[in-house]
Amino acid sequence: MIRDYIFGGNWKLQYPTVETSVKAAKDIADQLSTIDVEAFIAPSPNALYEVGRMIKESNLKLAGQNMHFMQKGAFTGEVSIDGLLEAGCEYVLLGHSERRRIFGEIDEMINKKVHTALDNDMKVVLCIGETASERANGDMAKVNMEQLSGSLKDVSEVQLNNIVIAYEPVWAINNEYLNPGVKIKAATIEEANESHAVVREWFVKNYGQSVSEKIRIQYGGSMKPTNAKELLSQRDIDGGLIGGASLKAETFIPILNSIK
């Protein structure tokens, strides 16, 4: 493996209180202490600071779920990069499909956030992915390449060292709003490999072969202890961004252990 695995737990708004978030974070941090792998959790903003305090001395890292591209100003309801840094975040998720498809974020906006993050020493997990209908129309490659081009506009080769890509097909994400009435399941190995190859190839075309070999691409979308091993044994899958199964140590830790 030329790239180190990286795992993230995206907690969304699933733990709406500080107390429940801190408890789950502690369980995960305790169990992670015996595993040598890079992993972060992204709690909801209301719990970020307290979770950060709880896991400070552990090897579990902290991530923001989103942030505004302006450092401060009249932006009601937004989260600042300084707030994320103050809480102890090393990473921020940007362009998650829930931000893109529920809250209307466009690539231009995501690109501004990417630059604000990188300019302020925050690492970025850039999320991309197509919907079921985009895939059915044969647009999987086009959509993902457009999101990469738009979100990474004017990002230098050196800055890519601080970027991780999360390929997350929207149709595989356990989200009833984005996938109404659909039985949600993870991508098959073939589907995941096809998409990860598209992403890797985009980096070859835009930054060259050696840069593309270094960029880490997580798979996200219904990753669980039962399917993680097979997904993670694929050449172009360098970890996972995990929603539901990251909420508890009982399901998150076995996923991390499946790389052994």
Indicate whether 94 belongs to the interface with ligand PEP (CB under 6 A): no
Q: Are 67 and 81 in contact (CB under 8 A)?
A: yes
Q: Are 186 and 231 in contact (CB under 8 A)?
A: yes
Dist CA 180 CA 159 (whole Å): 37
The SS3 of residue 89 is strand
Indicate whether 83 belongs to the interface with ligand PEP (CB under 6 A): no
Catalytic residue among 38, 98, 105, 168: 168
From 47-55, 80-88, 195-203, 242-250, give the range in contact with ligand PEP by CB under 6 A.
242-250
Residue 94 CB, nearest approach to ligand PEP (Å): 12
Indicate whether 220 belongs to the interface with ligand PEP (CB under 6 A): yes
Residue 144 CB, nearest approach to ligand PEP (Å): 15
**Residue 68 appears among annotated catalytic residues:** no
The SS3 of residue 155 is coil
Indicate whether 179 belongs to the interface with ligand PEP (CB under 6 A): no
Which of 167, 221, 228, 237 contacts ligand PEP by CB under 6 A? 221
Which structure tokens are listed for 144? 């993902």
- In DSSP notation, 99-112 reads HHHTS---HHHHHH
Which residues contact ligand PEP by CB under 6 A?
10, 168, 173-174, 220-223, 241-245
